[in-house]
Amino acid sequence: MKIAVVILNWNGKALLKKFLPSVIQYSPNATIYVADNASEDGSVGFIKEEFPNVAIIQNKTNGGFAKGYNDALKHVEEDILCLLNSDIEVTPNWLSPIEETFKSNNDIAIVQPKILDYKNKEYFEYAGAAGGFLDRLGYPFCRGRIFQTLEKDHAQYNDIKEIFWATGACMFIKKEVFNTLGGFDEDYFAHQEEIDLCWRAQNRNYKIVYVGVSKVYHVGGATLNNMNPKKTFLNFRNSLFSITKNLPKRKVFPLIVARLFLDGIAGIRFLFQLKLLHLLAIIKAHFSYYYYFVRIFKKRGHINKDIKYFECTSVVISYFLKQKRYYREITNSSKRP
């Protein structure tokens, strides 16, 4: 089983200088690629000079995360693709548990390690933490991270567990599965395209697994901070895209109506917080969703009507109204009568 570690780069020379050495040191049996999204900071020349054993794939344009990986991965032939952010520090023996997990069950198509915060290494990191889930309304959340609340890592998630989605910050996926799914949806540009990819995988009965004995440290926000209005726009819009594409038709429209109402409440909250750029981002997200609706709806593929896509009823209500801050509280509260 051959592994390719593929790092997507856009003007990230400083990040490559800092984090690529750990990837090289601790991935002796993997082929390492840097897929460059038309950088203008000398990244390509730097890699050629400082890391001559790293393979370089040069994309012609900056197509964001989705198109960037779709274009680059056409040139990668290894069995397992590790999509790795350029701002991640890997650890000794991080690949072995991943390999063992893939070998344990042929139905496993996607794997995510534990994602910890590089800046505060005792805590989980925003992007992915200990594996991703959705609530009934399609809002994503993670074990170890609910909205802005990050849990301290005290081995509570050192397990191997099926999850609903794996983070694109560090995602392992079988190349044949990536090709079968048609790669990432390029209309997303960036953010939550991995949730859509995983949802499409779930609809085809592939298994997605979190492996807590493999860990990496993620800076997070190195490209786009999680409180950046542009990220607010992409997250709100792309979440609606995923619901439209992946739910049975009878569930799509009632859920979209509910989401538009709740997104409006989120906008009002931003208004009272005087975060006007985030309010504007939500409004723009909705208009963009309406603009793309027909195009996105036509992308609906194989839908598995029997899968339970949600882990709890409403992470929003649990967190903001019931003051539930941790995964175990939110999931337990959703099961009470």
Q: What is the mean pLDDT of each run of 10 residues along the chain (337 residues)?
A: 96 97 97 97 97 97 95 97 97 98 97 97 96 96 95 97 98 98 95 97 97 96 68 95 96 95 93 96 97 97 93 92 94 54
Q: Does domain 3-218 have CATH number 3.40.1350.10?
A: no
Q: Which two tokens stand for residue 262?
A: 């709740």
Strand partners, 113: 211
* CA-based end-to-end distance of the chain: 46
* pTM exceeds 0.85, yes or no: yes
Question: Start-end ranges of CATH 3.90.550.10 in the chain?
Answer: 3-218
Q: Is 247 exposed, middle or buried (0-12, 13-18, 19+ CB in 10 A)?
A: buried
DSSP 158: -
Integer Cα distance of 313 and 145 in angstroms? 17
Q: What's the confidence (pLDDT) of residue 220? A: 85
User: CA-CA distances (angstroms) from residue 195 to 155, 161, 174?
Assistant: 25, 17, 16
Q: What are the pLDDT digits (tens) for 109-127?
A: 999 999 999 999 999 999 9
Q: What's the confidence (pLDDT) of residue 275? A: 94
Q: What's the confidence (pLDDT) of residue 335? A: 46
Q: What percent of the chain has pLDDT over 90?
A: 93
What SS3 state is found at 217?
Answer: strand
DSSP 152: B
HSE of 263, CA atoms in CB hemisphere, 13 A: 28
Beta strand residue intervals within 85-206, DSSP E: 88-90, 108-117, 120-124, 132-134, 140-142, 145-146, 149-150, 160-162, 170-174
Integer Cα distance of 205 and 80 in angstroms? 18
